[in-house]
Amino acid sequence: MSQKRVAIGIDLGGTNAKVGVVDGDGQVVAFDSGATNPERGPQVLVAEVVMLIDRVLEGVGLTRADVIGVGLGTPGPLSARTGTVIKAANLPGWVQVPLRMLFARALDLPVVLDNDANVAAYGEWWVGAGREWGDLVLLTLGTGVGGGVVLDGKVVQGHFENAAELGHMIVMPGGLPCNCGQRGCLEQYASAAAVARRVMSAIKDGETSSLAEAVARGEELDALAVEKAARAGDALSLSIWDEACYYLAVACVNIQHAFNPACVVLGGGMAGAGEFLLERVRGHFEGLKWHLHRDYPEILPAQLGYRAGVIGAAGYAWREQA
């Protein structure tokens, strides 16, 4: 088959790289992932990911000749315009890396690059939760809170190419310090890591909880442990979980006024809680939102899961063709 009919999406993380072969309808034809060792430098990483791409293509009887182009989602901050990773927190030692050029040269294919949250948002807009809605804002609740904004089919980049840093929206002036240097950022209250951290810190301060024993044993809690305890009626876990939902609702109100999207989509590890998260966010949103106009976004779960990044990245490559 010589007619080009697939795009490659790459979702590059600090510990692994996901590669998807994606058709023009956003269907994943093949998918695989492999470990990355960013400390060995960009050249080694690019060579390993290229080998992974060739292997994934071969698995479905395709070659690079069948590929229209490559989309790459990678941790930021970066410049999508120049295709350069400026300085990525979880790619240690990577400063001013011309990643788009390295991949384009190694693959001999057109490559387009953007940050991981933006490509995931594009994927959800293209064929995921936002498919039937239109303008979309994505919040991913993981180690931090990632954000992506898609308006009129375009990913909002901003003049300084740093738009949609929604995890650093201040929801509590003077609140908890964030490693970005501000205080009271959304991600200090509503990321999966923050929820776990806040429960552990309250227990260490003497609050009672069904998780106290685990913390006393030195166990590191995660958001799933907090969710389970909250579902089982642990008052401390439930109150911190509910606070996370409250601050997400505050963010949704601010997002409504800033972007007026059709939907705000919640993804990432913590969104795996489903309605246990969504219903609470919607409930707080109901109490916080204005009633001047009926212009409220729907608050929806992400649909593409761990493949959002590769689908969205491939979507960028398809968009370049259009």
Interface residue list for Zn ion (CB under 5 A): 168, 178, 180, 182, 185
List the one residue out of 173, 94, 140 whose CA is nearest residue 305: 140
CB nearer Zn ion, residue 166 or residue 211? 166
Q: Residue 178 CB, nearest distance to Zn ion (Å)?
A: 3
CB nearer Zn ion, residue 212 or residue 248? 248
CB nearer Zn ion, residue 182 or residue 210? 182
CB nearer Zn ion, residue 83 or residue 142? 142
Q: How far is CA 198 from CA 155, 193, 205, 234, 244, in A?
A: 33, 9, 10, 14, 10
CB nearer Zn ion, residue 192 or residue 212? 192
Question: How far apart (Å, rounded) are the C-alpha atoms in residues 273 and 244?
Answer: 13
Q: Residue 184 CB, nearest distance to Zn ion (Å)?
A: 8
Q: How far is CA 11 from CA 25, 40, 70, 119, 266, in A?
A: 19, 18, 11, 9, 19
CB nearer Zn ion, residue 120 or residue 190? 190
Question: How far apart (Å, rounded) are the C-alpha atoms in residues 312 and 308?
Answer: 6
Q: Residue 168 CB, nearest distance to Zn ion (Å)?
A: 4
Q: Residue 183 CB, nearest distance to Zn ion (Å)?
A: 8
Q: Residue 187 CB, nearest distance to Zn ion (Å)?
A: 6
CB nearer Zn ion, residue 185 or residue 236? 185
b/e for 40-52, b at 16 or more Cβ within 10 A?
eebeebbebbbeb
Residues 6+ positions from 153 with CB-CB distance below 8 Å: 125
Tell me how crowded residue 281 is: count the other CB atoms within 10 A of its CB.
Answer: 25
**Containing H/E element for 219?**
none
CB 56 within 8 A of CB 21: yes
Question: How far apart (Å, rounded) are the C-alpha atoms in residues 146 and 228?
Answer: 24
Q: Residue 198 CB, nearest distance to Zn ion (Å)?
A: 15
What is the number of helices (H) and of strands (E) in the chain? 10, 13
Residues 6+ positions from 215 with CB-CB distance below 8 Å: 200, 203, 204, 209, 221
CB nearer Zn ion, residue 178 or residue 200? 178
Q: Residue 47 CB, nearest distance to Zn ion (Å)?
A: 34
Q: Residue 57 CB, nearest distance to Zn ion (Å)?
A: 39
